[in-house]
Amino acid sequence: MIETLEQSVASPALEELKAPVLYTKDVNVWYGDHHALQDTSLDFHKGEITALIGPSGCGKSTYLRCLNLMNREIQGCQITGEIFYREHDINTPEEDLYELRKSIGMVFQQPNPFPKTIYENIAFAPRCHGQRNKATLDELVEESLRGAALWDEVKDKLNKSAQALSGGQQQRLCIARALALKPDVILLDEPCSALDPISTLAIEELMHSIAAGRAIIIVTHNMEQATRVSNRTAFFYMGEMVETGETEQIFNAPKSQRLNDYLSGRFS
Ligand SMILES: Nc1ncnc2c1ncn2[C@@H]1O[C@H](COP(=O)(O)OP(=O)(O)OP(=O)(O)O)[C@@H](O)[C@H]1O
Ligand SMILES: [Mg+2]
């Protein structure tokens, strides 16, 4: 029997595709008595790249750090609201941060490889998570470096120090390191701001391939970068998520005055 459209849309596989892999509902963050983020609700789907934009100090990094509970490490920081991953709220004291960060990886502004070899940078975390088989680790190292478009440049020097790589290569290594844990979500906080234009382009070109099967969330100050790499954009202003939508709509037909002013350079 031929399935009707309604039946096929209701099938579990499609339901799963439609469901967000990660979402927040009314998240608030305080640093001491400074209310840095207000009632932020957003959802993130596999295969999508979401850009977080807005002026300096508006709460982009604060929000990003909520998504894998990085803010927990900041003394005096309090987070309220729901942060749902794999159908449960992770914003609870019981959440296992070690396991969570395996699934929700993070790449920072400054490339931060470990002071180890290129190979060890990738193999270290999977080994800590129990992978001891040398052949499997070798495969994982190659697959992750290929995934981060770095394999051809480093395949002959896997046992050399990662710190001898260029800044752009180090950042791709950090992306490979995140990929090695096969995360569902990768968070990137201004990953290109310390890089030259060519290295920036290399990272941007990577974005779509690493988004296959996972959600990517990237903070950027570079509006061209947001339009080049993302499908969805969320605009933050003074601790509030003011507007979100398809990237094309956000940049070509902003609905809110504050976003319009921001895009036309009235404040930065
Ligand atoms: N560790 C912290 N302790 C205290 N206050 C903080 C901390 N981190 C951020 N803040 C404050 O929270 C607010 C939001 O900061 P956040 O770093 O999230 O902004 P941002 O949008 O990422 O800015 P930028 O674009 O400059 O990186 C700011 O007022 C900032 O001073
Ligand atoms: Mg920031």
Domains and CATH numbers, the chain: 19-108+183-263 (3.40.50.300)
- Closest atom of ligand 1 to CA, residue 219: 22
Q: Are 102 and 130 in contact (CB under 8 A)?
A: no
Residue 266 has a pLDDT of: 74
Question: What amino acid occupies position 28?
Answer: N
> Which phi and psi angles does 122 have, rounded to 5°?
-85, -40
Q: Is 242 in the pocket of ligand 1 (CB under 6 A)?
A: no
> Which residue, by CA, sits nearest to atom 6 of ligand 1?
31
What's the pLDDT band for 18 if we cut at 50, 70, 90? confident
Q: Residues 47-83: pLDDT tens digits?
A: 999 999 999 999 999 999 999 999 999 999 999 999 9
Three-state SS letters, 4-61: CHHHHHCCHHHHHHHCCCEEEEEEEEEECCEEEEEEEEEEECCCCEEEEECCCCCCHH
Mean pLDDT for all residues in the chain: 93
For residues 145-171, average pLDDT: 97
> Which residue, by CA, sits nearest to atom 12 of ligand 1?
36
Look at residue 93 and give its three-state secondary structure.
coil
Q: Are 216 and 50 in contact (CB under 8 A)?
A: yes
Tokens 């609700």 correspond to what residue? 41
Tokens 């060519």 correspond to what residue? 198
> Which residue, by CA, sits nearest to atom 8 of ligand 1?
62
The bridge status of strand 88-89 relative to strand 240-246 is: unpaired
pTM reported for the whole predicted model: 0.93
Question: What amino acid occupies position 140?
Answer: L
> Which phi and psi angles does 70 have, rounded to 5°?
-65, -30
Look at residue 78 and give its three-state secondary structure.
strand
| Tokens standing for residue 44 | 């993130």
* CA 32 – CA 42 distance, rounded (Å): 24
Exposure class string for 50-62: b at 16+ Cβ within 10 A, else e: bbbbbeeebbbbb
How many A from CA of 57 to the centre of ligand 1? 5
Q: Residues 194-219: pLDDT tens digits?
A: 999 999 999 999 999 999 999 999 99
What's the pLDDT band for 5 if we cut at 50, 70, 90? very low
Q: What is the DSSP letter of 117?
A: B
Q: Is 57 in the pocket of ligand 1 (CB under 6 A)?
A: yes
Q: Is 56 in the pocket of ligand 1 (CB under 6 A)?
A: yes
Q: What is the DSSP letter of 3?
A: P
